[in-house]
Amino acid sequence: MIEPAQLHESLCHILGNTCRLSRTAKSYEWNVSGRGAVLAQACFREQAEAMHMSIDPLAGHIVDLGGHAVLDYSDGVVAVNPPTANGIPTLREMVRNLHEGHRQAIHSVGAAIDVAREADDESTVQLMATHQAAHRAWRRRLALVEQDV
């Protein structure tokens, strides 16, 4: 049987990843340049907004389950970080970084779905399935952007 702490840990991990992807996409939007920058900038902006809009429902769900919405960046499943003053990635690197971040997020959300199913928590399964579908959609969109760079 799954302990509530396991589900909470899993959901906080997803929350941290979502915040990181949102912040990274926003930073990429601000710093993108080169051929295809206009299309990429719009994609990054929409992605940052979509990821940001999913934070409150996810955090609210954690609280509704009796937990605390803690941002868990501990294991770096989404190893994507915003650019720093020391280095702004190329547009192609930005697209690839976000694409990989979403791939990793799909995997971690899938693990959270497994935990929620074992806990017989259908509301979490549904929320995570929606979250996973969003990551898959962003990977498809980024693949289209990559074709234009």
**How far is the C-alpha of 100 from the C-alpha of 80, rounded, in Å?**
8
Query: What's the distance, CA 37 to chain centroid?
Result: 22
Asked if residue 1 has pLDDT above 80, the reply is no
Question: Quick check: 80 pLDDT over 90?
Answer: no
The residue with greater pLDDT, 81 or 137, is 137
Nearest to 137 by CA among 13, 30, 19, 54: 54
Rounded to the nearest angstrom, the gap between the alpha carbon of residue 128 and the centroid of all alpha carbons in its chain is 12
Half-sphere exposure for 36 (CA within 13 Å, toward CB): 17
Q: Which CATH number fits domain 4-74+84-147: 3.40.50.1000, 1.20.1260.10, 1.25.40.10, 3.30.70.1050?
A: 1.20.1260.10
pLDDT number for residue 46:
96
Domain ranges of the chain: 4-74+84-147
- Report pLDDT for 121: 94
- pLDDT tens per residue, range 19-30: 989 989 999 999
Q: List, for residues 38-72, the tens digit of each pLDDT value.
A: 999 999 999 999 999 999 999 999 999 999 998 87
> Tens digit of pLDDT for each residue in 96-126?
999 999 999 999 999 999 999 999 999 999 9
pTM higher than 0.85: yes
Could you tell me the CA-to-CA distances from 36 to 40, 88, 91, 148 in Å, in that order?
6, 16, 8, 6
Listed in sequence order, the DSSP H helices in 1-149 are 4-31, 37-64, 91-118, 122-147
